[in-house]
A and B are shown apart, each in its own frame.
Chain A
Amino acid sequence: MKKDIIALLLAGGVGSRLSILAKLRAKPAIPFGGIYRIIDFTMSNIANSGIDVVGVLTQYKPLSLMEHIDNGRPWDLFGKTRLVEILPPKTGEEISDWYKGTSDAVFQNLGFIEDFSPEMVLVVSGDHIYYMDYNTLITCHKNNKADVTIGLIRVPMRQAHHFGIASIDRNGRVVDWAEKPRKPKSNLASMGIYVFNARMLKTALRESARKGGTDFAKDVIPLLLKEKKRIFGCEFNGYWRDVGTIDAYWNCNMDLLKPDSGLNMENWNIRTNLFSRGEIGAKPSAYIGKDARIISSLVSSGCIIEGTVKYSIISPGVIIERGARVIDSIIFHNTIIRKNAFLNRAIVDKNVKIGANVNIGSGRLRPNITLGMNLSTGITVIGKNTIITDRVVIGKNCIISSNLNFSKTKTKYIQPGSTV
């Protein structure tokens, strides 16, 4: 099947700075905005841009991701000429191994690309929150007769050292490139979105691999720059967030509640897979009880809210009992919050049970002992399936692992900044 362009979505990321949220799932599979997962944004962007063949490169904990993408139908990438294929590492071929990096993952799947003999290959990462029509980038690419076109965005100078940084001339051609430079020459950061000339990409990947290269930003782009290939930058001005840290993840979720944040999902046509395995029936609409009080929050189907919810994002099937207060928090699917519990700036993963009168996120502000400044703004994270017994007090900046049962440890107090 011949295609003009196909997309390869890099979804293998470990996301270690997201701590326990990414412990049991790949970073792109982390829930976002109540009913979505992070990858939905990239998947929807691809589908909305009319690109209809997508390879999803997975490696780290791919199961929830694979289940979520399923047959691609939620994004209409399902049919005789439209498809999503999961591309995990494989054995049995000449070049086959675990993926050693972003470019290595694509290199090991050149066969997938060749099946469609495309003119162009879009390589995108699956862990950013944004809305973009990739056709802008493609048009840019064609007009410049480019070999590679990179999506670029202006970031605050003090954050530039976290990104791949490009310098461009007045025609938009990339003249300098540095991955996570200590002293950035500009604040034009790579969004991890590339349009490649397919034929050139194949040659470049082979050559880069021969020299031991495994990463697009670190190896392939510098190699192409050295070879004087036509690399262009295409600047994007919309909302774009890297949600690589707990702070960034929390802030980006909270942007959903701010009318002028630029994260305008109502108009973005972001799609998700509403099916979840093992659940027979559809979740009924959210029930808001007689004494419930809700201020500026998102509430999903299947929730039963009897308590108070302020500035929070509540995923499907969450129960919040009478007298409980949930403030500035993000609660994932099917978590139960019992009577008079208090949650402040908490991120609570799926199927957690929080007992009556539990207090999470009050007291002193002390940076987390393991994540340091990466968890220092008072957010506490509770891992999947954990059971917190009645009257337990958990301080700010804490990380409570998945699958813990407080009734076994008899713990009653977790001091601020702890990791359990």
Chain B
Amino acid sequence: MNEIIGMILAGGRVDELLTLTEKRPKAAVPVFGIYRFIDFVLSNMMRSRIDNVGVLSQFRPYSLMRHIGTGEHWDFIGRKRGIRILPPYKGIKESDWYRGTADSVYQNISFIEEFKPQYVIIAAADHIYQLDYRKVLAFHKEKHADVTVCFTKSKLKNPWFGYGIIGKNGELVAYEEKPEKSPSDWVSMTVYIFRTELLFDSLKQNANAESHEFGRDIISNLPGKCAIYAYKFNDYWSYARTVDMYYQTNMELLNGKVNLNQWQVCTNLIEGCALKDRIPARIEGQVVNSYISDGCIIKGTVINSILSPGVVVEKNSEIINSVIFHNTVIRKNAKLKMVICDKMCDIGESAEIGTFGAEIPSKEFTNLVAGGITVLGKETKVASRARIGANTVIYSGKFVGQGEIAPGSVIR
């Protein structure tokens, strides 16, 4: 029996990250060098002594499953601690693909029941913040709440957030998911604490509805019908819903807004392309205001950039304001500016990426790729002396030959 158990919503692909989520859910997208998005919520759960956690996943879960492994990296291993991946399943009666976040929890009610918890905390796997959920639970108890929803203040006006209107005593007066015009500055962090019975009732009621999303279909219906409160969180928070937001989040690390040394985020260091068996970064070139991971070999110049493990930067190449994932090789004299480069890319000698046309927007992804960001999918191979304009998106596994790709292009 547990007082509280955690359910992590990790199924979403999030199309707005384009090629970064082409083959993995957003929860598994690398961030800040050695982490993946899900590490933040997992570390929060662990630090909050939530000992049993279910991870709801559906879209291409392999990288996520391997990353989570036995859960030992977040200390979820032991007689009374555990983490389970909960993929869609076939049973005797109810069986189907998860039709939404609420449905994914609904289909796993039996998992929750095993622990007989008084409370269930439901949190999305793709937000970056550090929060001790015990504070939220204490607030929840103090208010005698049925539901507590975490909110944070954001000046960003965009169509991806859910907004709350919060009363004087912290009660949630209204909730609107992805409204056209934002009714307040309070944005949902997709962290909910439910009294278990109320959760089950709400999910059962929703089961026969048309749509099954927590924000849109459950939370928005609850104000006025039960004791629902808003917990206000005032520290660093990032959602990174779009490529542009993802890029900004990385730059916030470089601007010192995120203190990873203090946060002590846990991750899996030994699976896949992680740190395992890599020697410390070998730095022979010039590095300014950047994060460099183990296994990197830097002979060129790296400025304001974040490099995941195993990135090779050859002589006379320049990496400026960029985010480079694992095992990518940047050959001699190449120049990258504001590039997000997925794993295992090969950038040929003297290639130039993102160095021209920053003012020309993406033809297809106007809202998502802006301000001169170029995105290269996993295992992109760029020929030597190729020139790729800014605001270009190249999907995974493509070969870009010599010659010029116009700014704002999309290559599928």
**Binary flags per residue of B310-354, CB closer than 8 Å to A gives 1, else 0:** 000000000000000000000000000000000000000000000
Asked if B263 and A281 sit within 8 Å, CB to CB, the answer is yes
Considering residues B47, B73, B270, B307, which has the most beta carbons from chain A within 10 angstroms of its beta carbon?
B270
Residues 296-337 of A contacting B (Cβ, < 8 Å): 296-302, 304, 313-316
B282 at the interface (CB under 8 A from A): yes
Considering residues B267, B281, B284, which has the most beta carbons from chain A within 10 angstroms of its beta carbon?
B281
- The answer for the CA separation of A285 and B293 in the assembled complex, in Å, is 4
Binds B, one of A9-17, A120-128, A137-145, A286-294: A286-294
Using Cβ atoms and an 8 Å threshold, which residues of chain A touch B279? 33-35, 256, 265-266, 270, 298
Asked if A35 and B280 sit within 8 Å, CB to CB, the answer is yes
B191 at the interface (CB under 8 A from A): no
Asked if B43 and A299 sit within 8 Å, CB to CB, the answer is no
B399 at the interface (CB under 8 A from A): no
Known: A286-B292, A288-B292. A269 touches B280 (CB 8 A): no
Asked if B264 and A301 sit within 8 Å, CB to CB, the answer is no
- The answer for the CA separation of A72 and B400 in the assembled complex, in Å, is 44
Considering residues B32, B34, B277, B284, which has the most beta carbons from chain A within 10 angstroms of its beta carbon?
B277
A251–chain B nearest beta-carbon distance, Å: 18
Known: A35-B280, A274-B276, A288-B283. A301 touches B266 (CB 8 A): no
Asked if A282 and B281 sit within 8 Å, CB to CB, the answer is no
Asked if B260 and A301 sit within 8 Å, CB to CB, the answer is no
Give chain B's interface residue range (CB within 8 Å of chain A). 35 or more
- The answer for the CA separation of A280 and B74 in the assembled complex, in Å, is 8
Using Cβ atoms and an 8 Å threshold, which residues of chain A touch B307? 285
Residues 31-67 of A contacting B (Cβ, < 8 Å): 33-35
Known: A285-B306, A294-B283. A299 touches B292 (CB 8 A): yes
Using Cβ atoms and an 8 Å threshold, which residues of chain A touch B261? 283-284, 302, 304
- Name B290's contact: one of A283, A288, A302 (CB within 8 Å): A288
**Binary flags per residue of A152-181, CB closer than 8 Å to B gives 1, else 0:** 000000000000000000000000000000
Asked if A280 and B264 sit within 8 Å, CB to CB, the answer is yes
Residues 251-303 of B contacting A (Cβ, < 8 Å): 260-261, 263-267, 269-270, 275-277, 279-284, 286-294, 302
- Name A284's contact: one of B73, B260, B286 (CB within 8 Å): B260
Asked if B275 and A284 sit within 8 Å, CB to CB, the answer is no
- The answer for the CA separation of A158 and B221 in the assembled complex, in Å, is 86
Using Cβ atoms and an 8 Å threshold, which residues of chain A touch B71? none
A23 at the interface (CB under 8 A from B): no
Known: A285-B306, A288-B288, A304-B261. A299 touches B280 (CB 8 A): yes
B280–chain A nearest beta-carbon distance, Å: 4
Asked if A274 and B283 sit within 8 Å, CB to CB, the answer is no
Asked if B289 and A289 sit within 8 Å, CB to CB, the answer is yes
B11 at the interface (CB under 8 A from A): no
Asked if A271 and B276 sit within 8 Å, CB to CB, the answer is yes
Asked if A282 and B287 sit within 8 Å, CB to CB, the answer is no
- The answer for the CA separation of A293 and B284 in the assembled complex, in Å, is 10
A295 at the interface (CB under 8 A from B): yes
Asked if B281 and A299 sit within 8 Å, CB to CB, the answer is yes
Residue of B whose beta carbon sits closest to that of A274? B269
Residue of B whose beta carbon sits closest to that of A313? B280
A265–chain B nearest beta-carbon distance, Å: 5
Using Cβ atoms and an 8 Å threshold, which residues of chain A touch B43? 281
Considering residues A266, A279, A290, A299, which has the most beta carbons from chain B within 10 angstroms of its beta carbon?
A299
Asked if A285 and B34 sit within 8 Å, CB to CB, the answer is yes
Using Cβ atoms and an 8 Å threshold, which residues of chain B touch A299? 280-281, 283, 292
Known: A282-B265, A288-B292, A304-B261. A269 touches B283 (CB 8 A): no
Residue of B whose beta carbon sits closest to that of A269? B277
B33 at the interface (CB under 8 A from A): yes
Query: Interface size (A, Cβ < 8 Å)?
Result: 40
- The answer for the CA separation of A8 and B141 in the assembled complex, in Å, is 58
- The answer for the CA separation of A295 and B286 in the assembled complex, in Å, is 8
Using Cβ atoms and an 8 Å threshold, which residues of chain B touch A35? 279-280, 294
- Name B289's contact: one of A286, A288, A295, A301 (CB within 8 Å): A288
Asked if A34 and B280 sit within 8 Å, CB to CB, the answer is yes
Residue of A whose beta carbon sits closest to that of B268? A282
Asked if B275 and A301 sit within 8 Å, CB to CB, the answer is yes
- Name B34's contact: one of A287, A301, A316 (CB within 8 Å): A301
Asked if A314 and B266 sit within 8 Å, CB to CB, the answer is no
B14–chain A nearest beta-carbon distance, Å: 24
**Binary flags per residue of A268-280, CB closer than 8 Å to B gives 1, else 0:** 0111101000011
B5–chain A nearest beta-carbon distance, Å: 21
Asked if B288 and A284 sit within 8 Å, CB to CB, the answer is no
Using Cβ atoms and an 8 Å threshold, which residues of chain A touch B35? 282
B178–chain A nearest beta-carbon distance, Å: 33
- The answer for the CA separation of A272 and B35 in the assembled complex, in Å, is 20
- The answer for the CA separation of A234 and B107 in the assembled complex, in Å, is 64
- The answer for the CA separation of A304 and B263 in the assembled complex, in Å, is 15
Asked if A281 and B266 sit within 8 Å, CB to CB, the answer is yes
Using Cβ atoms and an 8 Å threshold, which residues of chain B touch A34? 279-280
- The answer for the CA separation of A283 and B306 in the assembled complex, in Å, is 15
Using Cβ atoms and an 8 Å threshold, which residues of chain A touch B270? 74, 274
Asked if B283 and A282 sit within 8 Å, CB to CB, the answer is no
- The answer for the CA separation of A299 and B267 in the assembled complex, in Å, is 20
A385–chain B nearest beta-carbon distance, Å: 20
Asked if B281 and A280 sit within 8 Å, CB to CB, the answer is no
Asked if A290 and B291 sit within 8 Å, CB to CB, the answer is no
- The answer for the CA separation of A315 and B293 in the assembled complex, in Å, is 13
- The answer for the CA separation of A270 and B291 in the assembled complex, in Å, is 24
Known: A290-B288, A290-B289. A284 touches B32 (CB 8 A): yes
- The answer for the CA separation of A270 and B283 in the assembled complex, in Å, is 20
A289–chain B nearest beta-carbon distance, Å: 6
Residue of B whose beta carbon sits closest to that of A265? B279
Given A287-B290, A300-B294, list of 4 further CB < 8 A pairs?
A282-B267, A297-B282, A298-B280, A299-B292
15 contacts between A and B (CB under 8 A): A35-B279, A74-B270, A270-B277, A272-B277, A280-B47, A282-B34, A282-B73, A282-B264, A284-B265, A288-B283, A288-B287, A288-B292, A296-B284, A297-B283, A300-B294
Return the 7 tightest CB-CB contacts between A and B, nearest first. A281-B264, A285-B33, A284-B260, A34-B280, A300-B280, A285-B293, A285-B291
